[in-house]
Structure 1
């Protein structure tokens, strides 16, 4: 045990020598660092290992790294001066400690996330990417971790193919996880946005774009496939289907969005013609994008209250039309209609609004 600790401390000699030579630490401070590291090293090589011992060591080294960076600025040593021998040496030690801790306590997902966050702060994105992969080997049943990893690949690594691969792998493992489908759907829409921006930068003509293999992406074909697979995998859930509409409204700048929304509502209407909840959601269609419409109306200084009253009237007319549908359970639909009215009533800010809801 003592030999292992001594070997680790000897590996730090170059780091200590350079820190002393350029004036980062005094000899007394270096001796204190050696004593502290020795104590931590003994703790992490004990037969019975505790996670807290690793975390304490990591915390100490992280604070030490910050101190080094502060003293560099104060002493005006520059960012390059012996940085490999000192700063990077400390970073590698922290990484080594994290790896060892994650290996021994692999079921602690928060430990993995802390490691990844450290790597991101150090701008070591490639290592963060591989660490996500390692974490998923143990925590592959956590859908949110797959989403985090996919978003990291797309937003930070700028690798849509890697992000797509992660989403698809996750869905093979957890095909009934709704959040995964919705996030995958949103990712493909973000990818359309990315391709559009790329085309704008390249300044291609319409003819060139039509002949380009990315044309299917720009027309929303991949997005349609994701929706189709989602709604055929997760059945008997009209609310889930409507969730896709809400996401689509975030991308209303795309030419295919309106027709796609029409398609989704046609799926609701045909596939769930006797489902009261589905018909209720169809009736509420005029208000599904209410928040955005209110914001836009306010910017244009339009009468928001009157606009909402008109939309609510459309919803009521839709409900009345649906209630004439002989295939729908009318008691169920009436209850949903009443729930809608009560919900709008709870949101009403004044008596006039309340009167509008029921008597317009």
Structure 2
């Protein structure tokens, strides 16, 4: 405590003198700084202190340091800034001596040390931190990575990882980071044959150590993600061919029917990393013996056999060759692993391949089309991929129309609740102008979709609107759809009204239709607004009919909408009877919800003065 008192008292006097001499702060600001420091020093000194008191103190000092830096505007830290940073470091140290169990406080301290350039103190701080928080694997990883990146002390890095793995022998991240660092270190070693009678290079010795790290890890780890990570890392280094084969062999041995690893293997083919023959001739038997059912064993043997018989590994291939190898791998996988997940990997890979059509466009499109066709035939096509396949068939006109119709019918049969797939089928028949099939597909869709069939009604209406001799059928469809009560259908009433007024050009019939639609439930505000607009477009507007639209709107929606009352008032002022304004104003106040009345009165005053 005496040390802390000294720090907060005498050692700060030169800072204040420097600040005053350099005119970095006014005398009043300096007095405020002293006051705040004394207050926070007192809080962190008393027995009832908390870690938050230290956090507050550090925040104040950090803010002050930032202010001083801005005012000095120097290229590097001044003597004052270094002193203030040192003050903050001491507050951290004292705080951590009281609260070493606070992990977040340790992490903030290390972040501060890195930011202020105290890199030489970070390793020691990590070591102290590990005494209290060694139960957390990521702390070991952070310590080792910093040691490697900043101190470049590989012996200390290995020491940290060895100690960390003793406490956390099955931690994936720690095993992987150790593997990755040691592999990178190996990549920098000499490849000259200078060791053991010129039979080995430094790099080959280093690679043997990496293989030992990997072998130790696989004894503890059963998570496939670890193997995926280390395999992806080895791909960055051309000298790891043997290690890659070892990892691949282990993956096939431990996860022979896992969809993800065969997806990884296929993607490797696309990148140019072909399989090499497995070293062990009895590999198939070893792998198959670990599976329970005969079908699983047969499938595994088939896949491993395919992998072993692939083209020699690591050959230079053209893009087309790589695509072909990739597709072959996927086809073998989906043939033996009959799951939706495996097919999705295959289809998504082909789809991704088609995102760039700057090269091998036709070949890529062909592979996507054949994959989709195969998935359809195997009954593993998702709704999403049916949608995509139908678009592809339409765009490329692959095969006769009969095949497209077959695909669309199969799609809606398998996914009868899919609005998008029914749209494809019905729209196709409208384009072909086959009224019989349009009606048939629409009825089937409506039976399956029920209240979700609004988009299909829209397609049907648009089709018949292009035919001048189909007024009766249009009226029939509109009468049917206007009776629907789901929200998606309500705007059809407005469409029917506009169609009658603008296409049939019979305004008396439009008014009659409006009166009928007004009786339907639920009420639709836009119906009344649209009819009011249509009434306003007449050469000699019928004021009574026009007013009726506003009456209907206010009766049905006047409780919750200020705007419809303002519209009604504007109508009476400009076209109707201005004497009704006061009466309408009182009606509105009585009708509106209480919380809306004040705003309405305010808007009415603006309305009266002509501001709105």
**Which of residues 235, 238, 241 is equivalent to 1:258?**
241
Q: Closer, same or farther in 2 for the Cα pair 1:7/1:257, shift >3 Å?
A: closer
For 1:1-360, list aligned pairs within 5 A.
8-73=8-73, 79=76, 83-84=78-79, 86-193=80-187, 195-196=188-189, 199=190, 206-208=192-194, 215-216=202-203, 220-234=207-221, 237=222, 239-240=223-224, 243-268=226-251, 272=253, 278-281=255-258, 284-285=261-262, 287-288=264-265, 290=267, 293=270, 308-316=326-334, 319=336, 337=339, 339-344=341-346, 349=351, 353-357=371-375
Displacement after TM superposition at 1:212 (Å): 11
CA distance in 1, matches of 2:199, 2:34: 62
For the Cα contact (< 8 Å) 2:266–2:329, is it kept in 1? no
Displacement after TM superposition at 1:357 (Å): 4.5
For the Cα contact (< 8 Å) 1:146–1:170, is it kept in 2? yes
Displacement after TM superposition at 1:165 (Å): 1.1
Displacement after TM superposition at 1:46 (Å): 1.2
For the Cα contact (< 8 Å) 1:216–1:222, is it kept in 2? no
For the Cα contact (< 8 Å) 1:143–1:170, is it kept in 2? yes
Displacement after TM superposition at 1:87 (Å): 1.2
Tell me the TM-score normalised to structure 1 length. Answer: 0.75
Displacement after TM superposition at 1:110 (Å): 1.0
Displacement after TM superposition at 1:23 (Å): 2.2
CA distance in 1, matches of 2:143, 2:264: 34
* Structure 1, 168-177 or 285-294: larger mean CA deviation: 285-294
| RMSD after superposition | 3.6
SS of residue paired to 1:279: coil
Match of 2:279 in 1: none
For the Cα contact (< 8 Å) 1:146–1:166, is it kept in 2? yes
CA distance in 2, matches of 1:268, 1:167: 24
* Structure 1, 251-260 or 280-289: larger mean CA deviation: 280-289
SS of residue paired to 2:151: coil
Q: Closer, same or farther in 2 for the Cα pair 1:92/1:305, shift >3 Å?
A: same
CA distance in 2, matches of 1:339, 1:41: 62
Matched positions, count: 317
Tell me the TM-score normalised to structure 2 length. Answer: 0.46
Displacement after TM superposition at 1:69 (Å): 1.1
Displacement after TM superposition at 1:222 (Å): 1.0
Displacement after TM superposition at 1:356 (Å): 4.2
Displacement after TM superposition at 1:243 (Å): 2.7
Per-residue CA deviations over 1:158-201 (Å, capped at 9, x if unaligned) read: 222211111111001111223221221112112123x24xx5xx
The structure having more radius of gyration, on CA atoms, is 2
The unaligned stretches of length 5 or more in structure 2 are 274-317, 352-367, 379-612
Q: Closer, same or farther in 2 for the Cα pair 1:173/1:289, shift >3 Å?
A: farther
Per-residue CA deviations over 1:205-256 (Å, capped at 9, x if unaligned) read: 834588699715565111100011112234xx2x44x733542333325344
CA distance in 2, matches of 1:165, 1:313: 46
Per-residue CA deviations over 1:86-141 (Å, capped at 9, x if unaligned) read: 11211111111111222222222111111100110111111122111111110001
Q: Closer, same or farther in 2 for the Cα pair 1:310/1:292, shift >3 Å?
A: closer
Structure with higher RCO (Cα < 8 A, 6+ apart): 1
Displacement after TM superposition at 1:348 (Å): 7.0
Displacement after TM superposition at 1:78 (Å): 6.1
CA distance in 1, matches of 2:153, 2:180: 16
CA distance in 2, matches of 1:209, 1:67: 59
For the Cα contact (< 8 Å) 1:136–1:145, is it kept in 2? yes
CA distance in 2, matches of 1:4, 1:105: 16
Q: Closer, same or farther in 2 for the Cα pair 1:358/1:7, shift >3 Å?
A: closer
Displacement after TM superposition at 1:60 (Å): 0.7
